[in-house]
Structure 1
Amino acid sequence: MKKIFILVVILCTFSFCDDGFEELNVNPTKPVQLDPSTKLTYIQLYTGGSSYVAYLFWNVIHFMQNVQHLNNTSYVSFLYKEGNTHWLFEEQFKTTVKNIADLEAQLETSTAPTATVDLAIARVQKVLIFSRITDAYGDIPYSEAGKGFLEGIRFPKYDTQSSIYSNMLETLEASVVVLNSGGTSSYGTADLMFAGDTGKWKKFANSLMLRLAMRMVKVDDASAKAWATKAISGGVMTSNADIAFLQYENSANDGGPNVNPLTKCFTSRASTQVKISKTFMDFMKDRDDPRVSVLASTVSGDTDPALQFGQDINIATRGTANSKPNINIFGGSGNVVYDAPFFFQTYAEVEFMLAEAGERWSLAGGATNVETHYNAGVTAAMQYLSMYGNGANITTTQIDDYLNTNPFVPAEALKMINEQYWVATFGNGLETFSNWRRSGYPELVPASVAATLTGGEIPRRLPYPASEKLNNPANVEAAIVQQGGDLLTTRMWWDKIN
């Protein structure tokens, strides 16, 4: 402590003695401020996940099993316990949140001719980041988050999810106005999602607005409809060319943000532990879904549907015929797909939301176009899998056969739309989990262990980290009170019982 004090005195003394000495202490090879494009690249990479270990816990073990895409025999009861639910919160607040706040502040004071558009893009990215965190935990730090260095706020308050959603929607609306103004961005290829293409960013902003609007249908139907109307009229995704995704590097990385964290999870555990759940496999096989052979394979790597059988969530044995994530597109023992894309939002999801908006409110062309949007969603959901490469191609004939064999039934519109959403978002566990809670589809049965651990319920959220309760106790406790609890089964603002 004394050495630090002496050093400070020395520095202060020299700074007052010689006006030119300060310049001599500036390293000309190091920038005073990083370029915005460098920051955006970092932020986008970490939005996908900082490491496969963290991703394994919050996405693969929790969310993808909660929605019964997967069944991991080592963690059947793990889902219904409150330990190890901190990973998403801690990794995002120390990486993306802190840096997006810094980027936003930098661009707000920038005089560069592209700063306004760059700021609009950064704010859409910010909404993506915070929407994922709040959809996992509920009330979170938002208005004061990431401002420890900028404003000295070391212990940020927790904003209500309703206020967070309100601000996120307003942010998207304002960003769309800027992106629609004809200005250009400086990001270029440093923007890993859209290479600075303002047209694609505008579509993504509106599509994200539509997603947030649909989240609110149970708690505020009028506002949900109003925001959905704005999003649709503003222009959402219109093809798979508009998908918001990251293409990772094909490198034997150490598991950091440069390689796909999802495939790293499947690489380390898929061959013996992570299996496709019986619920998911039976749904696809009962409908002769060609995605069986793309998304899954046997332990030996065979993608023949006749050889594939999902694993029941209550069975703690590992049969060699049980299906696991497909080694060719997600990675696995001996064939690691480091550069597999990770999808934040797809055109297929947008089409399903348009179908639901037509069914609920006669938007997007009205009730007569619900089936059209549904069929477009199914088609897009099968076609975009080709982006994984490695033979993940489903032909037009296969898609047509599927739609003919499983025709849309208007009387079951909401059920069919959201069941297909469930299949289409395989891999993006948080989005699948969020839409399942919102829509109630598919109708899932909890594991038998839930009877003793969660009162028979499938979890509805992740509890706050112990680190927050230690370091920011007053604000966490206030959040727990205002949200109504901090349990796996505590329902957040938009997740109301129908």
Structure 2
Amino acid sequence: MKKIIAILTIGLSLTACVNEDINTDPNSAYTVVPGSLINYAQKELSDYLNTPSVNENNFRLTMQYWQETTYVNESNYDFTNRNVSNQIYTDNYVNVLNNLGKAKDAINAYAPTATEVAGWPKNKKNQLAIIDIIQVYTYQRLVDTFGNVPYTQAANLTAFPLPAYDDGATIYVDLIARINADIANLDASATGFQSFSDGDQYYHGDIAKWTVFANSLKLKLGIGIADSNPTLAQTTALSAIAAGVMTNPADNGQFQYLAASPNYNPLYENLAASGREDYIAGKTLIEFMKTSADPRLDDYYDEVPAGGYIGQTIGEGGEFAEFSHIGEFAYTPTTPGVILNYTEVAFYIAEANARWNPAAAATAYNTAVTASIVEWGGTPAEAVTYLATHPYDAVNWKKSIGEQAWVAMFNQALTSWNFWRRLDFPVLTAPATAIINAGGKVPVRMAYPVLEQQVNSSNWKAASTAIGGDLLTTKLFWDKF
């Protein structure tokens, strides 16, 4: 951890889509402006969530959406060969959280001019709240990936060069408290000075939209602990819904990529610009969608030359030309990078109703499935037809919501992984060729980085013991069933 988090990455803004004064050098620590830091952190977060790179994000493989053609280590859950967890730490702690922390420091140190001073208190609160919302989002992802992680000591390397790990359940409680404070601090009446509105690539400083995003994230946090802390989960989720979460795609939190390198979507980077033919359709989802007559099938995948859709058995390699390829969206450089969107939120609402308001669950389920079909270019009429053969099952609601969330989260595999672990549907089977450390199961967590074992050994050992072992098979605190 010492070597990872200590790296300062406040430069690198050459890959950011931000307009700053050309007379400022955003690569210099002494002249850095919050906008460039926010921009860089947002892009790095989006890149991590959306990349299919085997070096850092293999969750499309884990959730059996995709399959590798030649090098099938990651399809068989060998993540140590490429030190994947090391890269996940770097992506999140260094590239995202460290830069956001520096942006907070810059805002707190800023002295407003005479014309800015009147509006500065509200604007300062808004800016710090937006930064904190992204930090809350990122920490939740880290907890959901590893379990216990560095948290209270992770942001102060001077005092804690080898940070201790915090309990994941305790972190969740604090993240909910933070998001509540952030929502209270957001003030849409602020006018005038907005130091990083250009740098904010998600909502461009629109406080009303950030409020909706924050409420939606609060809902996500509540649902995340529905089985481990049901009282707090229910209060958190239902209050978020009442306050106003995403209700249509215009509310989506996403990063808009550009057509040219280096700002195109990492999907395009890995599938098209690389010139490689590394990925094909996974058989598990393709067969499920074919059986279901799913209208999204031709958006998720391409037909083979002879017609039809063919996916490869999970864990096995295959010739690129013989199987369906990933759909056109992945070969389009400007496809937005999803952070949190309406479809995901609609499924959280469906799950919240299934748990705490069963009378409204079927309608919410229909809304969520329809949202996904429309998101991928389908029509409400197609959704009605699809739902006629895939109705909500109140008796086995986890199966209904779990399977449909799995299909819907095709391009949000980290989120899909959470739904699957929480609801235990769909039923996924590990390939017979999976590494021994997987214990014959699909992984339910990522192991800690090897670098942590080497550099932060005592804290790594304590964390590993606390969660029940640093294994791919160790369930997180919220994964109760």
SS in 2 for 1:285: helix
User: Which residue of 2 is the match for residue 56 of structure 1?
Assistant: 54
Kindly state the Cα deviation for residue 400 of structure 1 after the two structures are TM-superposed: 2.8
CA distance in 2, matches of 1:406, 1:39: 45
Higher alpha-carbon Rg: 1
CA distance in 2, matches of 1:425, 1:52: 12
CA distance in 1, matches of 2:172, 2:362: 30
The within-5 A match list for 1:4-153 is 32-49=30-47, 55-59=53-57, 62-78=58-74, 79-83=76-80, 84-86=83-85, 87-110=87-110, 112=112, 113=120, 114-148=123-157, 151-153=158-160
CA distance in 2, matches of 1:200, 1:223: 25
Decide whether the 8 Å contact of 1:213 with 1:227 is kept in 2.
yes
CA distance in 2, matches of 1:379, 1:111: 49
Distance 1:414 1:472, change over 3 A: same
Kindly state the Cα deviation for residue 48 of structure 1 after the two structures are TM-superposed: 1.6
Distance 1:197 1:440, change over 3 A: same
Q: Residue 236 in 1 paired to residue 232 in 2?
A: no
Unaligned runs of 5+ in 1: 1-26, 332-336, 386-392
User: Which residue of 2 is the match for residue 170 of structure 1?
Assistant: 177
Q: Residue 375 in 1 paired to residue 366 in 2?
A: yes
Decide whether the 8 Å contact of 2:33 with 2:103 is kept in 1.
no
SS in 2 for 1:188: coil
More helix by share: 1
Paired-residue identity, %: 29
Decide whether the 8 Å contact of 1:82 with 1:488 is kept in 2.
no
Q: Residue 322 in 1 paired to residue 323 in 2?
A: yes
User: Which residue of 2 is the match for residue 489 of structure 1?
Assistant: 473
Query: Which amino acid letter does the alignment assign opposite residue 421 of structure 1?
Result: A
Decide whether the 8 Å contact of 2:48 with 2:56 is kept in 1.
no
Decide whether the 8 Å contact of 2:67 with 2:317 is kept in 1.
no
The within-5 A match list for 1:57-456 is 57-59=55-57, 62-78=58-74, 79-83=76-80, 84-86=83-85, 87-110=87-110, 112=112, 113=120, 114-148=123-157, 151-180=158-187, 182-183=189-190, 185-253=194-262, 258-267=263-272, 272-298=277-303, 307-318=308-319, 320-326=321-327, 328-331=328-331, 337-362=332-357, 367-385=358-376, 393-450=377-434, 452-456=436-440
CA distance in 1, matches of 2:425, 2:276: 29
CA distance in 1, matches of 2:265, 2:36: 20
Kindly state the Cα deviation for residue 411 of structure 1 after the two structures are TM-superposed: 2.9
Kindly state the Cα deviation for residue 292 of structure 1 after the two structures are TM-superposed: 0.7
SS in 2 for 1:464: coil
Query: Which amino acid letter does the alignment assign opposite residue 374 of structure 2?
Result: Q
CA distance in 2, matches of 1:85, 1:371: 39
Query: Which amino acid letter does the alignment assign opposite residue 278 of structure 2?
Result: Q
CA distance in 1, matches of 2:217, 2:373: 21
Distance 1:321 1:405, change over 3 A: farther
What TM-score, normalized to structure 2?
Answer: 0.85
Kindly state the Cα deviation for residue 176 of structure 1 after the two structures are TM-superposed: 0.7
Runs of 4+ residues over 4 Å off in structure 1: 27-31, 50-54, 109-112, 268-271
Distance 1:312 1:269, change over 3 A: farther
CA distance in 1, matches of 2:316, 2:53: 24
Decide whether the 8 Å contact of 2:98 with 2:155 is kept in 1.
yes
CA distance in 1, matches of 2:397, 2:226: 16
SS in 2 for 1:275: strand
CA distance in 1, matches of 2:274, 2:429: 25
Distance 1:52 1:278, change over 3 A: closer
CA distance in 2, matches of 1:34, 1:451: 46
Decide whether the 8 Å contact of 1:69 with 1:277 is kept in 2.
yes
Decide whether the 8 Å contact of 1:272 with 1:318 is kept in 2.
no
CA distance in 2, matches of 1:171, 1:354: 21
SS in 1 for 2:128: helix
Taking only aligned residues, the RMSD between alpha carbons, in angstroms, comes to 2.6
Decide whether the 8 Å contact of 1:101 with 1:147 is kept in 2.
no
SS in 2 for 1:358: helix
Matched pairs, number = 442
Query: Which amino acid letter does the alignment assign opposite residue 330 of structure 1?
Result: A
476-485 or 286-295, larger mean C-alpha shift = 476-485
CA distance in 2, matches of 1:270, 1:354: 41
CA distance in 2, matches of 1:285, 1:212: 33
Kindly state the Cα deviation for residue 236 of structure 1 after the two structures are TM-superposed: 0.8
Decide whether the 8 Å contact of 1:144 with 1:153 is kept in 2.
yes
Kindly state the Cα deviation for residue 358 of structure 1 after the two structures are TM-superposed: 1.0
Unaligned runs of 5+ in 2: 1-22, 113-119
SS in 2 for 1:74: coil
Kindly state the Cα deviation for residue 474 of structure 1 after the two structures are TM-superposed: 2.1
